[in-house]
Chains A and B, each alone.
Chain A
Amino acid sequence: MSLDTLRYAPAPGHFDEVTGVDGAAREVWRGVARALGPLDPATLLERQRQADRLLDAEGTGHLVHDLSVAVGRHSAEAVAARSESHPWRLDPIPYLIERAEFDWLAAAAVQRMRVLEAVLADCYGPRSLVATGLLPGRVLHGLTSHRPAAGGPGAVHRWLTTYALDVARDRHGAWHVVADSTDAPTGLGYSLLNRGVLTRLLPDGLRAAGAAPIHETADELRRALAAAAPSDRRSPRTVLLTPGPASDTYVEQSYLATRLGVHLVEGADVVMRQGRMWLRSIDGLEPVDVVHRRLDDARLDPLEPGHVGGGVGVPGVVWGARAGGVVLANAYGSALAEEAAIGDVLADAAIALHGEALRLAQLPLGAAMATSPVFDRSGAALHPRPVVVRLQVIRRGDDHVVMAGGAGRVLAAGDDAARPSAQIAKDVWVVGGLPSRPVRVVAPPQVNFGSSVPTRVADSMYWLGRAAERAEVATRALRVVAQQLEQDPTLVTVEEGAWALGARALLRAAQAVPAAPDDGTPVGEWLSTEVGAAARAAGAQLVALVQEAASVREYLSATTGRVLGRLARAQTELQQAAPSPDDLDAVLADLAALSGLATESTVRGPAWRFLDLGRRIERALAVLGATEAALGPATGPMALQSLAEATLAAHESLVAYRRMYRSDVDLDAVLDLLLHDDTNPRSVAFQIDRLREHALGLGWPDGGRHVEDAAIALLSRVDDGVGGGRRVSLDGLVISVRGPLLALADAVVRRWFADPVNPTVVRGQ
């Protein structure tokens, strides 16, 4: 058996997924081991590397880096929370369950979901378990997860639409229950994500092993959610309600929303009116019928007593759901079924309410578990480790579907089986039995969210556009100044420091901080400090960019995740040491890729329009700022030559200039290219043309007027008048064009984004 080459040695007399109890390879593994091909250390190491890369590329890379995420831009107490997401590693060896055994497990999972449904209906309804003494009233009513507002005559008729069951084998190989998830079950998205990676890693292996496909489960969920809608809705609209980018499972929520083709919304994105839920979109309020709830009971509705988490949640949603205006899947109050006190009486409740004995028993606390081979990258070896398998059940109408596969979580030493730290995941394959179907590589579709865009998304897209442009400008200005200095260190002495002052002003303009006046300090004392500060500022802009992107990643193309992952890593280098031109070029290449993805791979809907609007405004302001900073001072020809080149280069126009003019720098020609040339994609005129299109596209004449004001101001001629050491005519032009652009930026925020703020709980009396 090929695993022997890795000297895999599970403990004797202890059930192992590969070798069973007796040490001989199990039937299911004998078949699949061939399909997996050679399992030598080098192959496994290579597959591991590939898996890491693919997982990163799926868009998880930038979300799991240890960056803070912006929370509640509009809230009075906007805070930066640390993302709770952590990187995980996908083991290159799948976890195998034989078909007949899986069918038995699936039936047990469905049975358990039915029993938990019956327990919830009973605890919030007739309470027969309490009346008969099986579940003491003082126990049930002392549980904080028992929500009085969920019970009584207005209680819902359906509690669970999704359910996740953690199971594990004990040391004899028998399956047991580890934990139930009923509040906001996680794992379906992770399973699809992990399977996507292994499918690309081992396409032949999956087919040859006859592993059941799982991608249809997302469609099942979509249909189940639609079927749960209030009966009077003809084409129900579903949203996925997330706690936000700081949530520990945000990666999964974002991935799943994309797969389902539904909006990923935060509490502040929706509002309750007349018992119904509405999505705040840039076109006004749009109705929502079904909520796939990933915000747990405790944080769902701040109007509820016992609510935790301050302003998180949707006020009035529990009230609306009781009245039947919106369906919560799962229903509010479902967390009750996860309580240990419920688990303790579940076996009796199954008989009392369901007339059946539970098929699966609880894994006793501290019981020794079976092991599976897990690849250890550092030692390039396989180690036996316990694994908890999460099964996903979806209920549609009265039918239950169990995903034929799922996610396994490898227990680290000292882990509680019910709460694994889960640094290593296993893709679970159900093999044998059914004829294998062709395996199809499933990439997340490019979802066209159509004309409906949540206000928060438009807001984040706009600031993402601005942050991306700002990061690019800051990085390129740094690159240009460092390069000029490297090529000609004598520049610092040109015209008694005129170049150095201009370069400093250019760096500062790129960071949007005011230029410092010349206080006569020798250039040598401050220039290197200035370059270091610019590098840190550029790093900070990258952080802002990655943060904004985190909350809208389902609107960006799938490849964007890979680029953002690299930028998230690059910011660390920029913040730490003086970056080399090579580092800066790498960052610029990634920023260019990001810009290209935004142009070529993003659906041109309203979300994209706000992204581009942000970018165009920022770029126009940046060109004006650079022109004012570097070309405004009335320097002599030596300094002007270098500073004009720097300004052109900082705005990607130097090559164009040389092609057009093939001469030394001529100020009029430089200004024409940077300001007026509407064929230069970096010029102010070009940005104004795009802004005009966006104002038209949005049907926004008020915005259009600001654009026209800027366009008219740009028409004024620049002469060579000088005063107070500055080119006053150029200064005048910059100021008169910048005014309407700043007014436009202000109007964008007021017209399109104002409003959503997090709710505040008022004091009691």
Chain B
Amino acid sequence: MTRFRVTHRTEYAYGRPMADGFTALHVTPRATAGQAVLAVDLQIDPAPDEMETVEDDFGNMVTLLAVHVPHAALVVHSVIDVDVVAPAPVGEDVPWEAVAEAAASARGDLVLEIGPYLAHTEQTPLVGGLSGLGSLTAEFAPGRGVVEATRALCHRIFEEFRFDPGFTDVTTPLATVLAERRGVCQDFAHVTVAALRSVGLPARYVSGYIETAPPPGQPKLTGVDASHAWCSVWAGPLGWLDLDPTNDQMPPQRHVTVGWGRDYHDVPPVRGVVIGAGGDQTLTVAVDVTALD
């Protein structure tokens, strides 16, 4: 078990004072089988006139806040302590077709749980053609184990795609990412879940953080200075298994989960609307994740 402290600061500067602002945050981690949330300290500047934290339709914690006084900037500062348990070793691999078949024929509570994660959404569409998902799903050869094939897919995305901050933003279509073979962690997570869903495997988009400084002797990971994103595949009897294509890790190590959904839009760290004369927006994000001993 590792105890992590996450410090996440987001600052929006609007250029001019805004009369009104509404913001939805996904920064408070949800409790999971492998993660206990110990403390959450959320500071908002200016002090919000309205604020409440509720559970959304995916079981994530969403904080809704509103500022009704003129403000030229909004700062969201969170300090969170969590205990993370390393995932147990996975059981014996099962053929991926059997998992896909189980997913397709699921009924009752199981289909309610996995159904949303079989859907192709706007950010995770079924993209055909040579440069599309088809070239990636070749890893799903007949009879291959679902864990082995997923791990191969994860590795392949890591090898074939270049981490290139600045090339994409949250509105870049998946087809562009696939054609150019570059992007950031959100894009790699979208590519991975779209590929998994295209062969009939339920897959979640996961939002969270990774440890900033690596343990001694290990390389620094990519995506440490901002929110991170990875994914999770439903492997039938083996349950949900996380994988991080940006760092070629399955299972991921040193990760703190905030929440999950079908794609980025279901769990954006911050989504906001301001009312006021337009100015030049600037966004500054700083994330620090440290293991507490």
The answer to whether A and B come from one shared complex is yes
- Which A residues contact B (CB, under 8 angstroms)? 75-77, 127, 130-133, 136-142, 144, 148-149, 151-154, 271-275, 302-303, 305-306, 315-316, 319, 755, 757-765
What is the bound-complex CA distance between A142 and B265, given in angstroms? 13
Residues 113-151 of B at the A interface (beta carbon under 8 Å): 114-122
Beyond A131-B109, A305-B271, A762-B273, whether A152 also contacts B57 by CB under 8 A is yes
Residues of A within 8 A of B197 (CB): 138
8 chain-A/chain-B pairs, Cβ below 8 angstroms: A141-B262, A272-B22, A273-B66, A305-B266, A305-B268, A315-B22, A759-B273, A762-B270
With A137-B119, A765-B227 given, can you name 15 additional A-B contacts, CB distance below 8 Å? Answer: A77-B278, A133-B107, A133-B111, A136-B118, A138-B118, A148-B57, A152-B57, A273-B50, A274-B49, A757-B19, A760-B276, A762-B270, A762-B271, A765-B283, A765-B285
Contact with A along B54-80 (1 / 0, CB 8 A): 111110000010101000000000000
Residues of B within 8 A of A139 (CB): 119
Residues of B within 8 A of A757 (CB): 19, 275-277
Query: A140 touches which one: B115, B122, B265 (CB < 8 A)?
Result: B115
For A272, A274, A315, A761, the residue with the greatest tally of chain B CB atoms inside 10 Å of its CB is: A315
Whether the pair B108, A131 counts as a contact (CB closer than 8 A) is: yes
Minimal beta-carbon separation of A66 from chain B (angstroms) = 30
Any A CB within 8 A of the CB of B256:
no
Minimal beta-carbon separation of B65 from chain A (angstroms) = 10
Whether the pair A151, B121 counts as a contact (CB closer than 8 A) is: no
Whether the pair A141, B116 counts as a contact (CB closer than 8 A) is: yes
Whether the pair A762, B121 counts as a contact (CB closer than 8 A) is: no
How many residues of chain B get a CB closer than 8 Å to chain A's CBs?
55
Residues of A within 8 A of B250 (CB): none
Whether the pair A765, B269 counts as a contact (CB closer than 8 A) is: yes
Residues of A within 8 A of B114 (CB): 137
Query: B66 touches which one: A76, A141, A316, A762 (CB < 8 A)?
Result: A316
Chain B, residue nearest A136 (CB): B115
Any A CB within 8 A of the CB of B112:
yes
Residues of B within 8 A of A316 (CB): 22, 64, 66, 273
What is the bound-complex CA distance between A272 and B23, given in angstroms? 13
Residues of B within 8 A of A76 (CB): 277-278
What is the bound-complex CA distance between A275 and B51, given in angstroms? 10
Whether the pair A142, B68 counts as a contact (CB closer than 8 A) is: no
> Top 4 A-B pairs ranked by shortest CB distance?
A137-B115, A142-B119, A76-B278, A138-B118
What is the bound-complex CA distance between A761 and B107, given in angstroms? 39
Residues of B within 8 A of A758 (CB): 275
Query: B226 touches which one: A133, A761, A765 (CB < 8 A)?
Result: A765
Any A CB within 8 A of the CB of B2:
no
Minimal beta-carbon separation of A279 from chain B (angstroms) = 15
Whether the pair B170, A303 counts as a contact (CB closer than 8 A) is: no
What is the bound-complex CA distance between A595 and B10, given in angstroms? 55
Whether the pair B272, A131 counts as a contact (CB closer than 8 A) is: no
A contacts with B: majority SS: loop
Minimal beta-carbon separation of A72 from chain B (angstroms) = 11
Minimal beta-carbon separation of A300 from chain B (angstroms) = 12
Residues of B within 8 A of A762 (CB): 12, 23, 270-274, 281, 283
Residues of B within 8 A of A127 (CB): 112
Residues of A within 8 A of B82 (CB): none
Contact with A along B13-31 (1 / 0, CB 8 A): 0000001101110000000
Residues of A within 8 A of B54 (CB): 154
Minimal beta-carbon separation of B107 from chain A (angstroms) = 5
Residues of A within 8 A of B266 (CB): 148, 305
Query: B111 touches which one: A130, A275, A302, A315 (CB < 8 A)?
Result: A130
Residues of A within 8 A of B285 (CB): 765
What is the bound-complex CA distance between A137 and B107, given in angstroms? 10
What is the bound-complex CA distance between A299 and B109, given in angstroms? 33
Query: B270 touches which one: A75, A149, A759, A764 (CB < 8 A)?
Result: A764
Minimal beta-carbon separation of A79 from chain B (angstroms) = 13
What is the bound-complex CA distance between A271 and B273, given in angstroms? 13
Residues of A within 8 A of B261 (CB): 148
Whether the pair B268, A764 counts as a contact (CB closer than 8 A) is: yes
Residues of B within 8 A of A144 (CB): 122
Whether the pair B112, A152 counts as a contact (CB closer than 8 A) is: no
Query: B275 touches which one: A132, A140, A315 (CB < 8 A)?
Result: A315
Minimal beta-carbon separation of A572 from chain B (angstroms) = 35
Beyond A137-B114, A272-B22, whether A148 also contacts B58 by CB under 8 A is yes
Chain B, residue nearest A319 (CB): B64
Chain A, residue nearest B107 (CB): A133
Query: A141 touches which one: B115, B226, B265, B272 (CB < 8 A)?
Result: B115
Residues of A within 8 A of B64 (CB): 316, 319
Minimal beta-carbon separation of B128 from chain A (angstroms) = 16
Chain A, residue nearest B115 (CB): A137
Beyond A305-B268, A765-B285, whether A755 also contacts B19 by CB under 8 A is yes
Whether the pair B273, A303 counts as a contact (CB closer than 8 A) is: yes
Residues of B within 8 A of A274 (CB): 49-50
Whether the pair B283, A315 counts as a contact (CB closer than 8 A) is: no
Contact with A along B171-207 (1 / 0, CB 8 A): 0000000000000000000000000010000000000
What is the bound-complex CA distance between A273 and B49, given in angstroms? 9
What is the bound-complex CA distance between A737 and B118, given in angstroms? 73
Chain B, residue nearest A313 (CB): B273
Whether the pair B274, A152 counts as a contact (CB closer than 8 A) is: no
What is the bound-complex CA distance between A138 and B261, given in angstroms? 13
Residues of B within 8 A of A148 (CB): 56-58, 261, 266
Whether the pair B273, A137 counts as a contact (CB closer than 8 A) is: no
Whether the pair A272, B66 counts as a contact (CB closer than 8 A) is: yes
Residues of A within 8 A of B274 (CB): 759-760, 762
What is the bound-complex CA distance between A132 and B105, given in angstroms? 10
Residues of B within 8 A of A138 (CB): 115, 118-120, 197
What is the bound-complex CA distance between A149 and B55, given in angstroms? 10
Whether the pair B268, A137 counts as a contact (CB closer than 8 A) is: no
Beyond A151-B57, A152-B55, A762-B281, whether A271 also contacts B20 by CB under 8 A is yes
Minimal beta-carbon separation of B11 from chain A (angstroms) = 11
Whether the pair B268, A315 counts as a contact (CB closer than 8 A) is: no
Chain B, residue nearest A137 (CB): B115
Residues of B within 8 A of A271 (CB): 20
Query: A303 touches which one: B271, B276, B281, B283 (CB < 8 A)?
Result: B271
Minimal beta-carbon separation of B154 from chain A (angstroms) = 22
What is the bound-complex CA distance between A144 and B123, given in angstroms? 11
What is the bound-complex CA distance between A443 and B251, given in angstroms? 72
Chain A, residue nearest B110 (CB): A131
What is the bound-complex CA distance between A76 and B275, given in angstroms? 11
Residues of B within 8 A of A763 (CB): 169-170, 281, 283
Residues of A within 8 A of B275 (CB): 315, 757-760
Minimal beta-carbon separation of A360 from chain B (angstroms) = 30
Minimal beta-carbon separation of A581 from chain B (angstroms) = 46
What is the bound-complex CA distance between A761 and B268, given in angstroms? 13
What is the bound-complex CA distance between A333 and B190, given in angstroms? 25
Residues of A within 8 A of B283 (CB): 762-763, 765
Whether the pair B265, A149 counts as a contact (CB closer than 8 A) is: no
Beyond A76-B278, A757-B276, A765-B227, whether A131 also contacts B57 by CB under 8 A is no
What is the bound-complex CA distance between A491 and B234, given in angstroms? 92
Whether the pair A130, B112 counts as a contact (CB closer than 8 A) is: yes
Whether the pair B57, A149 counts as a contact (CB closer than 8 A) is: yes
What is the bound-complex CA distance between A149 and B64, given in angstroms? 12
Residues of A within 8 A of B169 (CB): 763-764
Residues of B within 8 A of A302 (CB): 273
What is the bound-complex CA distance between A758 and B273, given in angstroms? 10
Residues of A within 8 A of B22 (CB): 272, 303, 315-316, 319, 759
Query: A137 touches which one: B116, B121, B281 (CB < 8 A)?
Result: B116
Whether the pair A315, B265 counts as a contact (CB closer than 8 A) is: no
For A75, A151, A316, A764, the residue with the greatest tally of chain B CB atoms inside 10 Å of its CB is: A764
What is the bound-complex CA distance between A273 and B67, given in angstroms? 10
Chain B, residue nearest A153 (CB): B55
Minimal beta-carbon separation of A318 from chain B (angstroms) = 10
Residues of B within 8 A of A149 (CB): 56-57
What is the bound-complex CA distance between A136 and B118, given in angstroms? 10
